[in-house]
Chain A
């Protein structure tokens, strides 16, 4: 059988071959598109811009330290995964305070109390931390409920204070503060809650009446739970609360809640306040007001000050005070194990039969161990100690004399 002749008869063979080639080329084009897409993500452009801004502002050397690639802050305690710093690269940089966004550095004071590595970004600012492109990251995307609480949103709701929206998130943690620095809008709302006596009818922060619904976790409700039929304009939970605060009967005709005649800005503040009452998942170390410190009494503060900076400061710094008091210098032992050093000059003589100078330079017994391992002192320090102890002894003697004279 002649294969060549047969092939020519098969018209479909030629067609098939052409189609295979065409399909391969289409496949290659699609793959090429994907690879190009992979090599040129949005964030790479921002990172290049950042490097050139740093170069211009802080010099080539600092620019070389810019770390490229996707950046992520993962806060295990809060369950936060934020990739914001992939583009907002200047967050912790000095000298980038006046640069345009996205590179401007974060205000320092607030960052000092809320370190990025411990808080991430979205717990305060909102937005979608997972995302790596701007539209999705700022949360103005379908199916993301917590958009960036910034300028855009404030403008949308005609709020003059551009940072007002964010205070809602601040108050998730700061809800039990009477007043919080830098949270003017929420502070105002808290003041209204007290002035108007909301607790007469509502449970707020765990106490109050039962005429109206318990508002302790009002912010936890989903948007679907409200009725938007009477709302003119944009149907959002935030709008509902504002409208409701202005005139409750407008939305719920059968309500007994009176209209307080709140101004727009007051209604907005209150809406932000009630929406901030969420069940955050907070480890205790994050709860503000809990400083993990005892509150010292006035006497304790005085004593601490005296020990730290008084005439006996030397014995505190060298940690002699752990065992010994130096009563005439105002040093009080933490654990009263050793003898009062104010009388050391006499004491050493009577106990060891040696002078203080001799003993401190070549101690025996417990002091030998202590001074060789735990609290090593240099020769100069020992000399200083001897001098100070003599002085303390003088003071002590004078003290005694005055007592005797009396």
Chain B
């Protein structure tokens, strides 16, 4: 018992700059607590509910944390050199205690993170959560754009990690992936050359991808994530809360008189003041600690357990060592780019004498248009306040159908590319077996 007291004391010392002695002091202390500063003091029940947000943003951050921890251990074990990379991964698989687990968890979390971040975006769109509500100072479209950048950063993180094992799968997936970049007119080849540090994927490319993967991209994601979270609070919480407040009469508190110390002396005026939007606060909300905290704890635990379970069930593959002279058949990009690879195969255009590489249309123009469209969308969405923070608002019916349509197309193409394309990119139904690929013996 005494030990627990002791631990509590240390814990308090670490997280609180000072220990409250009275009720009043506790109140002040809330402001100084790091957790309470991250969380809102109170959270509406709707924001807390499972079926509004599905906690997808939370899950993606937990996955990011899992990736950071497993990744840091793997950094000690992996050697980013063309000669040693493959064998160091073999060592991780076979002779590092729990190495197989670390690698498998890292891989599964990466795949899940791509999927969950994408689903998070779908959720935000379908609930109209990128729209501003009534709260002052809210700027949700910006946060939506930050979210898109985070999605792209997640894809890049996954893509750069894909090369590191230096096996056939990695090598050729990156070959296919980077060649898409090279199809951009004029600068394409140069971009690829800069990205790879050469014309082929070699030591330069490996170390570039490695440094991007373990330092630059994670740091970018971390900063953007903090900004993303901070914006949520500045935007008045989840959009669901805005929707809730619509049915309540806002109470206009009289501005509070205050004194400010200005350069010229004491000035009288009113304090910076955010209008209280929630009237029936008692009824509709609960305190974040412990209710939100417990929820987060639950989501964290469930995510970790699910990730490890999946990692055990689906062991991370390691193919033959990278061999620049043998292209595996089929050679596929990472799965989240397969919808592009699928489109790329069908979009080579011949207009008279001019042939436009499908990679340019499918791999450059299409994604650029989609990203541009996504960034622009919140500014053209003119639906009313009633559509903020509700699933499938009738007012946004057309938008939602368009968005779902695009998503379904992407998903279908991804599924075709992943499961139904065999050797020579021929189409195979799941019940049709692929021709066996030749082996030495």
B295 within 8 A of A: yes
Contact B87 A130 (CB under 8 A): yes
B223 within 8 A of A: no
B317 within 8 A of A: yes
Contact A238 B298 (CB under 8 A): no
Contact A236 B318 (CB under 8 A): no
- Closest Cβ of chain B to A388, distance in Å, is 61
Chain A residue at minimal CB-CB distance from B323: A222
Contact B438 A20 (CB under 8 A): no
B233 within 8 A of A: no
Contact A226 B438 (CB under 8 A): yes
Contact B438 A237 (CB under 8 A): yes
Contact A223 B438 (CB under 8 A): yes
Known A-B contacts A19-B298, A145-B440, A238-B441; A222 and B326 likewise in contact (beta carbons under 8 Å) = yes
What is the number of residues of chain A that contact chain B, defined by CB distance less than 8 Å?
Answer: 43
A26 within 8 A of B: yes
Contact B320 A236 (CB under 8 A): no
B329 within 8 A of A: yes
Contact B439 A237 (CB under 8 A): yes
- Closest Cβ of chain B to A234, distance in Å, is 8
A17 within 8 A of B: yes
Contact B291 A13 (CB under 8 A): yes
Residues of A within 8 A of B295 (CB): 16
Contact A38 B91 (CB under 8 A): no
Which residues in window 292-309 of B have CB below 8 A to A?
A: 294-295, 297-298, 301-302, 304-305, 308-309
A147 within 8 A of B: yes
What is the number of residues of chain B that contact chain A, defined by CB distance less than 8 Å?
Answer: 41
The complex places the Cα of A19 from the Cα of B297 at a distance, in Å, of 10
Residues of A within 8 A of B90 (CB): 130
Residues of A within 8 A of B326 (CB): 222, 224
The residue that B87 contacts in the complex, of A23, A81, A83, A223, with Cβ under 8 A, is A81
Residues of A within 8 A of B317 (CB): 143
Chain B residue at minimal CB-CB distance from A220: B325
A24 within 8 A of B: yes
Contact A38 B98 (CB under 8 A): yes
Contact B297 A224 (CB under 8 A): no
Contact B94 A131 (CB under 8 A): yes
From A27-35, A99-107, A180-188, A200-208, the one touching the partner chain is: A27-35
Contact mask B155-169 → A, CB, 8 Å, 1/0? Answer: 000000000000110
A10 within 8 A of B: yes
The residue that A30 contacts in the complex, of B167, B297, B308, B318, with Cβ under 8 A, is B308
- Closest Cβ of chain A to B441, distance in Å, is 5
Contact A23 B441 (CB under 8 A): no
Residues of A within 8 A of B97 (CB): 38
B286 within 8 A of A: yes
- Closest Cβ of chain B to A336, distance in Å, is 53
Contact A23 B438 (CB under 8 A): no
The complex places the Cα of A16 from the Cα of B291 at a distance, in Å, of 9
Residues of A within 8 A of B291 (CB): 10, 13, 16
Contact A238 B440 (CB under 8 A): yes
The complex places the Cα of A226 from the Cα of B326 at a distance, in Å, of 12
Known A-B contacts A235-B436, A235-B438; A132 and B94 likewise in contact (beta carbons under 8 Å) = yes
The residue that B286 contacts in the complex, of A10, A20, A153, with Cβ under 8 A, is A10
Chain B residue at minimal CB-CB distance from A226: B438
Residues of B within 8 A of A143 (CB): 167-168, 317-320
The complex places the Cα of A212 from the Cα of B95 at a distance, in Å, of 46
A262 within 8 A of B: no
Contact mask A203-240 → B, CB, 8 Å, 1/0? Answer: 00000000000000000001110101000000111101
Residues of B within 8 A of A387 (CB): none
- Closest Cβ of chain A to B304, distance in Å, is 6
Residues of B within 8 A of A17 (CB): 294
Which residues in window 13-66 of A have CB below 8 A to B?
A: 13, 16-17, 19-20, 23-24, 26-27, 30-31, 33-34, 38
The residue that A236 contacts in the complex, of B91, B167, B438, with Cβ under 8 A, is B438
The complex places the Cα of A23 from the Cα of B329 at a distance, in Å, of 42
Contact A23 B305 (CB under 8 A): yes
The residue that A26 contacts in the complex, of B305, B329, B438, with Cβ under 8 A, is B305
Residues of A within 8 A of B94 (CB): 83, 130-132, 136
The complex places the Cα of A24 from the Cα of B329 at a distance, in Å, of 44
A70 within 8 A of B: yes
Residues of A within 8 A of B304 (CB): 27
The residue that B294 contacts in the complex, of A16, A236, A238, with Cβ under 8 A, is A16
The complex places the Cα of A38 from the Cα of B312 at a distance, in Å, of 13
Residues of A within 8 A of B302 (CB): 19, 23
Residues of A within 8 A of B93 (CB): 130
B146 within 8 A of A: no
- Closest Cβ of chain A to B105, distance in Å, is 10
Contact B294 A20 (CB under 8 A): yes
- Closest Cβ of chain A to B332, distance in Å, is 15
Contact B91 A130 (CB under 8 A): yes
Chain B residue at minimal CB-CB distance from A128: B90
The complex places the Cα of A250 from the Cα of B393 at a distance, in Å, of 69
Residues of A within 8 A of B48 (CB): 12
The complex places the Cα of A16 from the Cα of B301 at a distance, in Å, of 12
Which residues in window 138-175 of A have CB below 8 A to B?
A: 143-147, 153, 157
Residues of B within 8 A of A265 (CB): none
Contact B440 A224 (CB under 8 A): no
- Closest Cβ of chain B to A137, distance in Å, is 9
A72 within 8 A of B: yes
Residues of B within 8 A of A16 (CB): 291, 294-295, 298
The complex places the Cα of A147 from the Cα of B440 at a distance, in Å, of 9
The residue that A20 contacts in the complex, of B168, B298, B327, B436, with Cβ under 8 A, is B298
Chain B residue at minimal CB-CB distance from A34: B101
Chain A residue at minimal CB-CB distance from B95: A70
Contact A24 B301 (CB under 8 A): yes
Residues of A within 8 A of B286 (CB): 10
Residues of B within 8 A of A235 (CB): 436, 438-439
- Closest Cβ of chain B to A159, distance in Å, is 12
The 3 closest A-B pairs by CB, nearest first: A23-B301, A130-B90, A223-B438
* Given A16-B295, A24-B301, 11 additional A-B pairs, CB 8 A: A12-B48, A17-B294, A23-B302, A130-B94, A145-B440, A146-B441, A223-B438, A224-B327, A236-B438, A237-B438, A240-B438
